[in-house]
Homo-oligomer: A and B are copies of this chain.
Amino acid sequence: MKKKVTLKQLAKELNLSISTVSKSLKNDPEISRKTIVRVRELAKFYNYKPNALAVSLKSSKTKTIGVLLPEILNNFFATALFGIQQEAAKEGYKIVTCFTNESYQKEVDYLETLTYSSVDGIILALSQETQIKNKVSHITELAQDNIPVVLFDRVSDTIQCDKVIIDDYDASKKAVSHLLDSGCKHILVISTIHELSVGKLRAEGAQKVVTAYTGATLSTIEVTQEDEGAKEITAFLKNHKVDGILGFDELSVALAIHIVNAIGKKIPEEIAIIGFSDSTLSRYSSPKITTISQHAEELGSMATALLLKRMNPDTSENTPNFTTKVVKTSLLKRASTR
């Protein structure tokens, strides 16, 4: 069994003191060239790596970021996570990830676990339950522990911190405008996220555009339970004229596609579909689904970059105020809209 080599062992073998060895490995100029070379050679021979735990204990830095996501079985968050991990790795940071399953209590518990296992900072998208309850003291308290937080996508005005969001309101306007411009008169919005900040913004944006166009009707179906929602949508499509559907989230889009196909309506001739989720489903459906691209990976990497800057501030400048970065979405025109 290969034991991990420590400074102590190197020092002993070289007949030097521990501190000399430590300094040599840092190329400290106060150590002689000759000694440095000797030390580094032996260190390389043994493949010495400093014990990260000891370094962390000493420095109170762990080079670890805590990531708290509402769910992972969701293209958006999975993609964001990917962006986070990639960006973190660039700077030598690791990520510890937990999933709250949209539960407030889990969010509280995991946050505690993360802070007490000493992550240097936290990236977080609020759980649905947290947004509904609007209880965020578990997050604001992090400031007292001096742990920087970056919120992304699911944010809260009550929390003072750096944030990265998309332009939900505008994106939704963009989507509805696209439908109307292509001749849709009767738009149906489907949402499973009406309780979320992003869902509300999207609803407002959609309504805004429709109101501006006289004569147009905006109906909304808020889905809470998948089966019931599916029935409701099916019934609605049978009993109302609908020629365009906007799905606010992955599940809504999936339901829309499935049901429109099931009742035998042609996409986009009879019903156009546009969605907020760029999942495999959207990309490989027939026709391919027009999508608002949320740039999830960029969202993740921007959140990480912000956090890294907050954790390692430029000594030259004074601490900048909290910013909210808004990532512009783009309309990925595909075949499900005219």
Instruction: Name the B residues within 8 Å of A82 (CB-CB).
Output: 72-73, 99
Instruction: Name the B residues within 8 Å of A78 (CB-CB).
Output: 72-73, 78
- How many subunits of this chain does the assembly comprise? 2
1/0 contact trace for A228-266 toward B, CB 8 Å? 000000000000000000000010001101100110000
Give the number of chain A interface residues (Cβ < 8 Å): 53
1/0 contact trace for A19-46 toward B, CB 8 Å? 0000000000000000000000000000
Q: Are B79 and A284 in contact (CB under 8 A)?
A: no
* A140 interface residue (CB < 8 Å to B): no
* A63 interface residue (CB < 8 Å to B): yes
Instruction: Name the B residues within 8 Å of A64 (CB-CB).
Output: 96, 117
Residue of B2, B51, B81, B114 near A145 (CB, 8 A) is B2
* A224 interface residue (CB < 8 Å to B): no
Minimum C-beta distance from A103 to chain B (A): 12
Q: Are A53 and B63 in contact (CB under 8 A)?
A: no
Which residues of A in the span 59-107 have a Cβ within 8 Å of any Cβ on B? 62-64, 72-73, 75, 78-79, 81-82, 85-86, 89, 92, 94-99
Q: Are B56 and A116 in contact (CB under 8 A)?
A: no
Q: Are B254 and A280 in contact (CB under 8 A)?
A: yes
* A146 interface residue (CB < 8 Å to B): yes
Q: Are B279 and A117 in contact (CB under 8 A)?
A: no
* A57 interface residue (CB < 8 Å to B): yes
Instruction: Name the B residues within 8 Å of A258 (CB-CB).
Output: 284-286
Minimum C-beta distance from A86 to chain B (A): 8
Which residues of A in the span 125-147 have a Cβ within 8 Å of any Cβ on B? 144-146
* A212 interface residue (CB < 8 Å to B): no
- Selected A-B contacts with CB under 8 Å, 21 pairs: A2-B144, A2-B145, A4-B145, A51-B118, A52-B116, A52-B117, A53-B56, A64-B117, A72-B78, A72-B82, A72-B85, A78-B78, A81-B97, A85-B97, A94-B96, A254-B280, A257-B286, A258-B286, A261-B286, A279-B280, A285-B285
